[in-house]
């Protein structure tokens, strides 16, 4: 496994149109690369947070025509950094919905891997907040582990964070880094973001890279920020707070093997039956 490297998580406040969002991201990417970042991660929906579903479908374009992806591929070539595009919304042929796709770019701008978000955010939150991601997004169906010069990285997006089995599968497939770009709402982020990100690192003995959107977006949509880099023992190495910018940390891939040797839980899966578990629970309750 390769030696240490530096990861940066960019934290932006995407607008409802792509052009200003891309313009705001470009100097942040250059600044992170200039500070020595080898891998730069962007948040979910990095170039567009459009609250109105019909407008999402109107504004999204196919992957090959997306101006954000073109800009990020160019910036990878310019800076020599790998760029993990947290996610972009792409139109796909043959359907009325888009895909929420994460892409890993190497330092030449080539697309190394694609992952379409599996778990979609359909919830009603206290205070009247409601989200129906499935109204515009078609769910993906495949987990993805991708190669980097430093080891394998498991790809995911935002709401996936709540489904621990996905990260266990990624780690058991060899991932030592977990990518969790997000646009976590302020309400859910304040309650759960840090706990869940640290839990995924601890459960799998993996580094977690979690760039998150921040600030107030169109029509008062608010995201939590606090982009995180977490080590395999669950320690937060960097926290982006609530302002636009980036955070960076040095990553030692050997720390993953050390954590997994100390707590080898990834090797301790056991099958169990629901009926047996129910019997045990009844007995424990004195029935």
Cα–Cα dist 287/280, whole Å: 10
Catalytically annotated residue among 117, 133, 214, 255: 117
Cα–Cα dist 277/287, whole Å: 14
Place of tokens 């330092």: 107
270 neighbors 32 (Cβ within 8 angstroms): no
48 neighbors 23 (Cβ within 8 angstroms): no
Per the annotation, the verdict on 9 as an active-site residue is: no
Cα–Cα dist 231/235, whole Å: 5
Catalytically annotated residue among 13, 15, 44, 214: 44
Backbone CA torsion sign across 84, 258, 225, 6 = negative
Per the annotation, the verdict on 26 as an active-site residue is: no
Cα–Cα dist 71/65, whole Å: 11
Catalytically annotated residue among 9, 13, 133, 158: 158
DSSP sequence for 14-44: --SSHHHHHHHHHHHHHHHHHTT-SEEE--T
Mind telling me the catalytic residues?
Answer: 44, 117, 158
């Amino acid at each position: 496994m390769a030696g240490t490297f530096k990861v940066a998580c960019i934290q932006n406040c995407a607008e409802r149109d792509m052009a200003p969002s891309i313009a705001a991201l470009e100097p942040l990417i250059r600044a992170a690369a200039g500070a020595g970042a080898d891998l730069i991660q962007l948040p979910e929906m990095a170039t567009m947070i459009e609250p109105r579903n019909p407008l999402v479908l109107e504004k999204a374009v196919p992957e090959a025509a997306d101006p954000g992806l073109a800009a990020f591929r160019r910036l990878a070539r310019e800076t020599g950094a790998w760029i993990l595009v947290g996610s972009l919304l792409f139109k796909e042929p043959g359907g009325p919905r888009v895909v929420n796709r994460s892409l890993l770019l190497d330092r030449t701008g080539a697309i190394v891997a694609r992952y379409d978000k599996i778990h979609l955010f359909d919830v009603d939150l206290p205070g009247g907040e409601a989200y129906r991601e499935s109204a515009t997004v078609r769910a993906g169906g495949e987990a993805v582990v991708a190669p980097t010069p430093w080891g394998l990285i498991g790809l995911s997006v935002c709401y996936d964070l709540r489904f621990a089995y996905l990260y266990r599968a990624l780690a058991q497939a060899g991932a030592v880094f977990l990518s969790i770009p997000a646009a976590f709402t302020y309400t859910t982020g304040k309650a759960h973001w840090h706990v869940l990100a640290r839990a995924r690192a601890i459960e799998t003995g993996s580094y977690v890279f979690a760039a998150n959107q921040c600030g107030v977006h169109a029509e008062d949509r608010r995201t939590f920020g606090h982009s995180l880099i977490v080590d395999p023992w669950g320690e937060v190495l960097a926290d982006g707070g609530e302002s636009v910018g980036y955070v960076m940390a040095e990553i030692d891939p050997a720390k993953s093997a050390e954590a997994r040797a100390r707590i080898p839980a990834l090797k301790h899966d056991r099958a169990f039956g629901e009926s047996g578990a129910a019997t045990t629970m009844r007995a424990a309750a004195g029935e």
